[in-house]
Amino acid sequence: MPYFYFDQWYFLLVVPAMILGLIAQVRVKSAYSRWSGVRVSTGLTGTDAARIVLQRGGVRDVQVTSVGGQLTDHYDPAKKSLALSEGVYGAASVAAVGIAAHEAGHALQHAEGYFPLKIRTAIIPLTRFGSAAAPFVLLAGVLFSFEPLVLAGILCFSLAALFQLVTLPVEFNASRRALTALEESGVIRTEEERTGVKRVLSAAAMTYVAALISSLATILRLLLLFTNRRR
């Protein structure tokens, strides 16, 4: 008899986690759409905000560039490049300055050697290997009814959860840096702008929380199925 089969845990654990992930994605798009339509009173763009945050942090060797797509903003530590999406790079909206400042926060983390970021960077190769290998290792364990391989597959799945867990403090810290820098530098000046930035960044952070919950739900389901099968 195989280890894994139609089970209640999928509907009790995995499906709710998937729904939470969808809700988080909807919240991000909704917050982005809402606050992309609100112009900051200073008239500063996402690019301006990113450069101000970088300068305030003493970082002068990071290039701010434009990248295609929506919500594709990211910081590349290898190239020391901060890429802002089309709706952020030249936009003078609350959403744009918030997202740009957040990504600049990652550049500041990199420059100062922020420990959680160093850990996340170090485990990236391991988590990529684990994510790629997990389905095959788990399938082999099931097909051959070999418990060590099943456990190895579950462990590989766990590496993704580890990466997501380490990502949380990195993302929350970058958001705190962003909000503080925007307020202290005067990029945002009104309570409405502050609220908008917080909502955009909070919605984005929830996607990382949802991803972690989804991974943990999958791991727990696999462990429960494995444990029940052994009994």
Q: Looking at the annotation, which residues are catalytic? A: 103
Give the C-alpha separation, 202 to 137, whole Å.
36
Largest pairwise CA distance in the chain: 67
Q: Tell me how far the alpha carbon of residue 36 is from its chain's centroid.
A: 20
- Tokens representing 16 are 């709710």
How would you classify residue 43: left for phi > 0, otherwise alpha for psi between -120 and 50, otherwise beta?
Answer: left
- Go through the chain and tell me how many residues it has: 231
Angle at 23 between CA 136 and CA 204, to 5 degrees: 85
Task: Enumerate the β-bridge partners of residue 66.
Answer: 84
Alpha helices in 65-146 (DSSP H): 86-89, 94-112, 115-143
Cα–Cα nearest to 152, from 127, 125, 132, 133? 133
At 115, list the tokens.
């420990």
**Residue 200 near residue 98 (C-beta atoms within 8 A):** yes
